[in-house]
Amino acid sequence: MNIVDLRSDTVTKPTPEMREAMAHAEVGDDVYGEDPNVNMLQEAAADKMGKEAGLFVPSGTMGNLIAVLVHCQRGDEAIMGDKGHTFSFEAGGISALGGVFPHTLPNQADGTLRIDDILGAIRPDDVHHPVSKLVILENTQNRCGGVVLSKEYSNEVAKLAHHHDMKLHVDGARIFNASVALNINVKEFVKEADSVTFCLSKGLCAPVGSVLCGSREFIGKARRMRKMLGGGMRQAGVLAAAGLVALDSMVDRLAEDHRRASELAQGLGKLTGIHFEMGLPQTNMVFPSLRAEVNGNAAEIVKKLATEGVKVSAVAERRLRLVTHAWVDDAAVQQTLNAFKKVLA
Ligand code: TLP
């Protein structure tokens, strides 16, 4: 049986072109700054993001952690969404390792944090309070449905942060999905942001790695922090070579993933047991909810779908997540719809 893996776009494997580039990559010791592919990737990434410099890091989690540790001191406060990856899925690293205090605000259905909520969360200068140092936005916002935050909104939040002597970090793990969905140059989304992390290892299919981008000064500090966290990699050019292929050739095709996510949603929407409380997909994520009439919760449906060769995630008692990516073709979409029909019948 063909296995369709829709649990995440993190399951993507390197393409043949990436394997080829990896096999022949010239390498050096990146802790000495001597790996040519890592250097090329960092420059290409910074250029794409419109920032002065980039730093290759092993994961999106480490990229976000380093950004927070550079922007904040121990005891400082970072404002972020309660559905954000940094708050929910990074093992509390900013607090455990950085002593940084998370101040969560409710993510709205469109993935944003209300401007008034942000303003209300910024602390006055008073010895009773932690110092508000950072705002974090996520684009696309994963747990709000893979929704896209507009460039106008992101830049407004950056200006607001700067006005209060704070910084903005964008967790842009899937910022290229946002850029492709709105057909806007990726730079526009992070023009005013102080730092951005984006992932090579999700929809772009590279095996490992993310790039943190920002000013030269910020990246200088980030480099020391990466070393402190044990993320200084040596001959990482074999990974960066795949990352360069990802940046060059895997961005535009994300539109296909978005089309298939829409097709999945349309097909699933025809089944009486399914509804879309969180709205229809804007990018590569589909979040179907199970109506009351469906027997079994999301975890049980996940198990039944697996017997049909379809892997999806349960993200709430009655909600699933399906993520499309380069390894999900039209036949896989059809197999998934058939599996749902059978399991929900
Ligand atoms: N997200 C994963 C899981 O950790 C939930 C997924 O399957 O979606 N920012 C965002 C917005 C992410 O979605 C993720 C991964 C990360 C950061 C972390 O990236 P990695 O896995 O490289 O540490």
For ligand 1, the distance from its centroid to the CA atom of residue 295, given in whole angstroms, is: 30
Q: Is the CB of 282 under 6 A from ligand 1?
A: no
Does the beta carbon of 37 lie inside 6 Å of ligand 1? no
pTM score, whole prediction:
0.98
Residue 221 in contact with residue 70, Cβ under 8 Å? yes
* Topology of the domain covering 253-344: Aspartate Aminotransferase, domain 1 (3.90.1150)
Q: Give the fold, CATH level 3, of 14-249.
A: Aspartate Aminotransferase; domain 2 (3.40.640)
**Residue 143 burial class via C-beta count within 10 angstroms: exposed 0-12, middle 13-18, buried 19 and up:** buried
Q: How far is CA 8 from CA 47, 196, 290, in A?
A: 28, 21, 20
Tens digit of pLDDT for each residue in 63-82? 999 999 999 999 999 999 99
Backbone angles phi, psi at 143, to 5 degrees: -75, -5
Question: For 112-130, what is each residue's pLDDT tens digit?
Answer: 999 999 999 999 999 999 9
Average pLDDT estimate for 187-201: 98
Q: Is the CB of 48 under 6 A from ligand 1?
A: no
CA of 272 to the centre of ligand 1 (A): 31
* 171 Cα to the center of ligand 1, angstroms: 10
What is the reported pLDDT for 244? 98
| Number of Cβ within a 10 Å radius of residue 119 | 11
The pLDDT of residue 226 is: 98
Domain boundaries defined on the chain: 14-249, 253-344
Average pLDDT over residues 92-105: 98
- What is the distance in A from the centroid of ligand 1 to the CA of 179? 18
Above pLDDT 90, what percent of the chain? 99
Please say whether the beta carbons of 284 and 261 come within 8 A.
yes
